[in-house]
């Protein structure tokens, strides 16, 4: 029943992996996206779509209301994340349960926000609480210290995603300062040689700071899942306690 002619969605990834499958809409037709989403809705009560093209966005907005319908508990609603251009379709039963995981997300510049938003959405759908600080890149380093302190001391995050394009220097600077694992999320911001995120990715891979691992350029979903897995594992340990 969970099989389509053109797709074989990994419906139970959530159980196996502790992270939901996200439907990458950019390279699929509108009809394929909707059919796959229906499968997830039927079996899991939730479907997440990333990189939603305008045509699909229009279709989703036309078909689904923006809020649950109290009169029709079976009704699926659409939670549209404009920054990330991502959609969550949900019905009753598909709500997220808080995991206790705590994730920090930092961006080097305003242009990095869409990719960071994708990561944030995934973390929240994994039950994590997300804390953000935007536009604190190394061109004006004085902007970094206060937000970083807040993430570590106040929010007490267990992992930090740092999104940066261009020179990609911020994740190295952050990883040199903090004692939590850092996930470098290069974005395709930048032009010329090393543009499209290549410079940022290269810089993060060549980091001289320990405790930094990276995902591919603009892969907000990947960064989000990695951070969510780490944070949720720490949170679970915190709940269980009594560790060896």
Binders of its own copies in range 38-67 (CB under 8 A): none
| C-beta closer to its own copies: residue 59 or 134 | 134
Q: Does 74 bind its own copies (CB under 8 A)?
A: no
Q: Does 13 bind its own copies (CB under 8 A)?
A: yes
Q: Does 109 bind its own copies (CB under 8 A)?
A: yes
Q: Beta strands 77-81 and 22-24: pairing type?
A: unpaired
CA distance 120 to 193: 29
Among 44, 158, 160, 162, binds its own copies (CB under 8 A): 158
Q: Does 167 bind its own copies (CB under 8 A)?
A: yes
With contacts defined by CB under 8 A, name the span among 4-12, 57-65, 67-75, 89-97 that binds its own copies: 4-12
- Asked if residues 100 and 233 have their Cβ atoms less than 8 Å apart, the reply is no
CA distance 157 to 201: 24
User: At its nearest, how many Å lie between its own copies and the CB of residue 24?
Assistant: 8
Q: Hey, which residues between 198 and 227 contact its own copies (CB under 8 A)? A: 198-219, 221-223, 225-226
Q: Is the dihedral of CA 234, 240, 242, 244 positive or negative?
A: negative
With contacts defined by CB under 8 A, name the span among 38-46, 60-68, 70-78, 106-114 that binds its own copies: 106-114
| C-beta closer to its own copies: residue 74 or 82 | 82
With contacts defined by CB under 8 A, name the span among 41-49, 64-72, 73-81, 180-188 that binds its own copies: 180-188
User: At its nearest, how many Å lie between its own copies and the CB of residue 120?
Assistant: 13
| C-beta closer to its own copies: residue 70 or 192 | 192
- DSSP string covering the chain: ----SS----TTHHHHHSS--EEEGGGS-HHHHHHHHHHHHHHHSEEEEES--HHHHHHHHHHS-SS--TT-TT--EEEEETTTTEEEEE-TT-PPPP---EEEEEESSGGGHHHHHHHHHHHHHTT-EEEEE-S--GGGGGGTHHHHHIIIIIS--SEEEEEE-TT--HHHHHHTT-SS-EEEEE-S---STTTTTHHHHHHHHT-SSSSEEE--TT-HHHHHHHHHHHHHHHHHHHHH----
Among 45, 135, 150, 152, binds its own copies (CB under 8 A): 135
| C-beta closer to its own copies: residue 90 or 102 | 102
Q: Does 127 bind its own copies (CB under 8 A)?
A: no
With contacts defined by CB under 8 A, name the span among 40-48, 59-67, 73-81, 110-118 that binds its own copies: 110-118
| C-beta closer to its own copies: residue 42 or 69 | 42
């Amino acid at each position: 029943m969970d099989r389509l002619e053109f797709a074989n969605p990994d419906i139970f990834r959530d159980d196996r992996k502790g992270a939901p499958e996200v439907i990458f809409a950019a390279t699929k037709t509108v009809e394929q996206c909707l059919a796959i989403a229906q499968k997830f809705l039927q079996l899991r009560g939730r479907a997440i779509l990333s990189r939603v093209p305008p045509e699909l966005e229009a279709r989703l907005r036309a078909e689904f209301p923006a809020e649950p319908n109290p009169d029709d508990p079976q009704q699926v609603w659409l939670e549209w994340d404009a920054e990330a251009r991502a959609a969550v379709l949900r019905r009753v039963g598909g709500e997220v349960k808080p995991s206790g995981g705590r994730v920090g997300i930092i961006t080097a510049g305003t242009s990095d926000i869409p990719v960071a938003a994708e990561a944030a959405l995934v973390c929240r759908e994994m039950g994590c609480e997300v804390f953000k600080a935007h536009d604190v890149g190394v061109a004006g380093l004085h902007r970094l210290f206060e937000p970083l302190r807040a993430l570590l001391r106040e929010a007490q995050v267990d992992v930090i995603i740092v999104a940066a394009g261009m020179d990609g220097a911020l994740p190295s600077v952050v990883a040199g300062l903090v004692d939590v694992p850092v996930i470098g999320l290069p974005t395709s911001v930048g032009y010329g040689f090393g543009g499209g995120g290549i410079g940022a990715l290269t810089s993060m891979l060549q980091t001289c700071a320990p405790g930094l691992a990276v995902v591919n350029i603009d892969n907000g979903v990947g960064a989000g899942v990695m951070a969510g897995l780490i944070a949720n594992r720490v949170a679970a340990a915190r709940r269980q306690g009594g560790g060896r």
